[in-house]
Amino acid sequence: MCKPFAAPRWALAMSVAMLGPRRSPPLHWLTMTATDNPLLNFTDLPPFGAIAAHHVEPAVRQAIANARKDLQGIEALDEPDATTLLTRLEQLHDRLGRVWGAVEHLLSVADDPELRQAHDAVQSEVVEVSVEIAQSQPLFQAVVAVRARPDYADLSPAQRRALDQLWLDARLSGADLQGEQRKEFADLQQQLAELGTQYGHHVLDATKAWHLDLSTLHDVAGLPPSALDQASQSWQQAHPTEVSSSGAGPWRLTLDGPSLLPVLQHAKNRSLREQVYRAHVVRASSGEFDNTLIIKNILTVRRQQAQLLGYADYAALSLATKMAPSYGAVTALLERLRAVSYPAGQKDLQDLRDFAREQGAAEATDLQPWDVGFWAERLREKRYDYSDEALRPYFPLPKVLQGLFDLCARLFGIRVVAADGEAPVWHRDVQFFRIQNEAGQPLAAFYLDPYSRPQTKRGGAWMNECVGRSLALGQPGQPRLPVAYLICNGTPPVGDKPSLMTLDEVETLLHEFGHGLQHMLTNVDLGLVSGIRGIEWDAVELPSQFMENWCRHRQTLRGLSAHVDTGEPLPDLLFDRIAAARTFRAGSDMLRQLAFALTDLAIHHDFDPATQQAQAVYRQVAARTQALQPLAEDRFLCGFSHIFAGGYAAGYYSYKWAEVLSADAFAQFERVGLDDAPAVAAKGRQFAETILGLGGSVAPMQVFRAFVGRDPDEQALLRHAGLLNEVV
């Protein structure tokens, strides 16, 4: 579920989670003009091929100056009407957001020391101007005045929604605070930004710093050919003047997902699995990359912020902007899911022990965390007679993409057209596509960066916006069309073959494309609430998880497949086995996510970092959510970037909350019949008009009711997981 993306509510499309020391720019930077700087003079898509680290500081500082000038202009307006105020705010945020968004995007996909240094040098200044905008008293009072006008009820729903969110976000940014409290809140914002940046850098650097080179076949026994090919390629990249052969070694293992997971699932060498597993669970927890103190400081600052704003704790502050009505409502849902899945998780573990014993494994009586993936994969292979590796040849990336685009054509009436060469890219592997309606009219565009690059690219998968839809920022009478970044860390191609994907990688691609669809198919022209903007965080995973569910459908999954050598689609027999395995270890999988969500909530609610240890809370939660307890030295929180360097603080529960919504939404398609093409197309158009089209312009519960006709129900999720019979 590591599929994070940034979804700003109304402010700049940027993160304020990174910060570094200010540095004086070299003298020649001070004389650089706007026309010399590609970050300042682009009007369409960022000129990635032309952007260099030395462009960052002068461009961002100029954009900050422009933002302050724009803010002064808005503050000087005399009783602005809603349209004027919202338009001017869009223009302000876009001018800075486009520059800073390009910089932050590059840092996440093409990290290097010079770019990181330039980014960190101006991050504090970006945070500073962001806080100035958020805390502007004249701006806040203008929003208050517009909301109090007699004609407020006559505004469009999107305008009212945007103004309501502006008002709430301003209050949560300290606009209501006075004197020293306002300054204290701004200082805390800066501290939090710096801590978030340090945390994220430590995770990336710790991941990059670890590797293990192997040279004998005994070392790598059991690893599938795709993993050996990738490990051989990694070793070759580290030793360009030497020769490596996939079949004879040497091989290099890393902590990056495409390297880590095959080891834990397939390596027969138990000591190798243990070595890799232990390295993974202690990432960024010691030495120069230690995040332990940073976690304590982040939690302390968040708690102080919440109390300054009048909230009991940070969880309460976080939930003020969520779809969930209360902390109690969230924990009640999570507890219902835990009660259902815990007995199933215990049975899953016993099944592994029994199976390992049947196979004569010495570890059967002492199963450890590094054994679970290996024996789970062996049991799944025996029980369902297929392996993830056996599926890879059926899912070459080009065919998966074509099948995905065909699915979107059937559901939403759109066409996806390859447009490589029409936009500058940051790496040779990046592809560019345009989206059109059935009449061929342009709707949106997106970049796809599909492969892992552990030395320069952040782990996980995410969608982010390049630019958003906006009438105010388009040509006269024509809205600016949205453009998305879709980023995965899938298995790279090896040799002359395309990337061969695991089923999990296929589902991840569909997940991120679902986020992209909500950004790109919005029909809202007010940029502050178009696409993913303005959507409550716990509702934002609905479209992404909805798209994953299509892998449950025979016709769709076969349409995503074509054997790399024969071109044959996935055989019905294999699909039947995959379908039967859908609920394999579903209890354990759900418990894992519940452990993350409950830990996140616990350390942000009724928790004092001065006297309590976050890692201890993680272990307390694990005691009631995990059948096999974590190692004593497990420092999972030191690598939990979602909540310490991403947007999920006191909100990781959003994945499960939204999974209830998405399963219920997909059940509406099941109800009309997934093989009934006209009915599915009609339902797909309705989904596009509501869930995808309305974006943040309408409250998510209203949007859900508009599509489903009632409030959400978790029964569909439990049915899909095969857990309905586990209810206690």
pLDDT in tens, 378-433: 999 999 998 888 899 999 999 999 999 999 999 999 999 999 999 999 999 999 99
The pTM for the full model equals 0.86
Supply the angle between the helices 654-672 and 677-687 in degrees, to the nearest 10.
140
Q: What is the DSSP string of 520-551?
A: HS-----GGGSTTTT--GGGTTHHHHHHHGGG
Q: In this structure, is the dihedral angle defined by the CA atoms of residues 87, 542, 173 and 98, taken in order, positive or negative?
A: negative
Q: Does 33 score more than 60 pLDDT?
A: no
Mean pLDDT on 119-137: 92
> How remote is the C-alpha of 420 from its chain's centroid?
25
Calpha distance 96→129 (Å, rounded): 10
Kindly report which listed range (223-227, 337-341, 347-351) carries the lowest average pLDDT score. 223-227
Report d(CA 615, CA 603) in Å as an integer.
9
Residues serving a catalytic function are 512
Q: Pick left, alpha or beta for residue 287 (phi over 0 → left; psi -120 to 50 → alpha; otherwise beta).
A: left
Closest-CA residue to 11 (of 67, 59, 65):
67
Which H/E stretch holds residue 412? helix 397-412
Work out the pLDDT band at 14, boundaries 50, 70, 90: very low
C-alpha span between 507 and 404 (Å, rounded): 11
So what's the pLDDT on residue 7? 27
Given a cut of 60, is residue 10 above it in pLDDT? no
Count how many residues are written for the chain.
728
Nearest to residue 491, comparing CAs of 111, 109, 203, 228?
228
| Two tokens, residue 106 | 């590059």
Query: What does each C-alpha distance from 431 to 6, 51, 109, 351 come to in angstroms?
Result: 21, 18, 14, 44
Q: Give dist(CA 53, CA 70) in Å, integer.
A: 26
Supply the pLDDT for residue 661.
97
- pLDDT over 80 at 334, yes or no: yes
Is a pLDDT exceeding 60 seen at residue 1?
no
* Cα distance between residue 728 and residue 725, in whole Å: 9
622 membership: H or E segment, kind and range? helix 614-625
Note whether 718 and 724 are within 8 A (CB). yes
Residue 520 contacts residue 688 (beta carbons within 8 Å): no
244 band by pLDDT with thresholds 50, 70 and 90: confident
Summarised one tens digit per residue, pLDDT across range 37-83 is: 999 988 789 999 999 999 999 999 999 999 999 999 999 999 999 99
User: In sequence order, what are the residues at sequence separation of 6 or more whose Cβ sits closer than 8 angstroms to the Cβ of residue 36?
Assistant: none
| Per-residue tokens: 175 | 């606009």
Phi, psi (deg, nearest 5) at residue 418: -65, 135
Residue 445, both tokens? 């565009």
pLDDT in tens, 538-585: 999 999 999 999 999 999 999 999 999 999 999 999 999 999 999 999
What pLDDT is stored for residue 396 in this prediction? 98
Amino acid 241: pLDDT: 86
Residue 374 and residue 265 in contact, taking contact as beta carbons nearer than 8 Å: yes
How far CA 166 is from CA of 140, 152, 465, 532, in Å, comes to 8, 14, 20, 16
What is the model's pLDDT at position 34?
53
Domains of the chain from N-terminus onward: 27-134+136-172 (1.20.1050.40), 210-283 (no CATH), 393-585+655-720 (1.10.1370.40)
Query: Distance between CA atoms of 11 and 90, rounded to whole angstroms?
Result: 9
Q: Helix, strand, or coil here: 85?
A: helix
CA angle 614, 620, 624 (to 5 degrees): 145
Mean pLDDT within 116-131: 93
- 3-state SS string over 274-301? HHHHHHHHCCCCCHHHCCHHHHHHHHHH
> Residue 150 gets which letter from DSSP?
G
- The secondary structure of 331-355 as a DSSP string is HHHHHHHHHHHHHHHHHHHHHHHHH
Q: How far apart are CA 537 and CA 534, in angstroms?
A: 9
The pLDDT tens digits for 501-530 are 999 999 999 999 999 999 999 999 999 999
Averaged over 637-653, what is the pLDDT?
93
Work out the mean pLDDT of the chain and round it to a whole number.
92
Q: Is the pLDDT assigned to residue 21 strictly greater than 90?
A: no
Range scoring the smallest mean pLDDT among 385-394, 598-607, 670-679, 685-694:
385-394
Confidence at 450, pLDDT banded by 50, 70, 90: very high
How confident is the model at residue 107, as a pLDDT? 95
DSSP sequence for 89-138: HHHHHHHHHHHHHHHHHHHHHS--HHHHHHHHHHHHHHHHHHHHHHT-HH
pLDDT bin (cut points 50, 70, 90) of residue 147 is very high
Residues 150-171, mean pLDDT to the nearest whole number: 95
Residue (of 608, 611, 630, 605) closest to 619 by Cα position: 630
Lowest mean pLDDT among 30-34, 95-99, 236-240, 490-494: 30-34
The set of long-range contacts for 576-583, using a CB threshold of 8 Å and a minimum separation of 24, is 577/384, 577/385, 577/386, 578/384, 578/386, 578/391, 578/503, 579/552, 579/554, 580/384, 581/380, 581/383, 581/384, 581/386, 582/552, 582/720, 582/722, 583/721, 583/722, 583/723
Please report the pLDDT score of residue 35 as a whole number: 61
Q: Is the dihedral of CA 28, 33, 36, 39 positive or negative?
A: positive
Residues 6+ apart with CB under 8 A from 641: 4, 199, 200, 203, 460
The packing angle between helices 503-520 and 397-412, to 10°, is 40
18 pLDDT tier (thresholds 50, 70, 90): very low
pLDDT exceeding 70 applies to what percent of the chain? 95
